[in-house]
Amino acid sequence: MQKMFEQALPFSVVVITLLGFLFITLFLFYLVKKFKDK
């Protein structure tokens, strides 16, 4: 059980990191687009 948890932990960390990076990228893109429209 613990071995399975140790294998699953890095995967969830990678997923959270990728989702966070994607969110930041989309947010920055939105800010740039909003700034250019002004």
The number of distinct structural domains making up the chain is 1
Q: Supply the range of the domain harboring residue 31.
A: 1-38
**pLDDT for position 6:** 66
| Placement of tokens 């990076």 in the chain | 21
Q: Which two tokens stand for residue 18?
A: 């990728």
Whole-angstrom Cα distance, residue 27 to residue 14?
20
Helix, strand, coil abundance in the chain, percent, nearest 5? 95, 0, 5
Which tens digit of pLDDT belongs to each residue from 1-38? 567 666 767 888 999 999 999 999 999 999 999 999 87
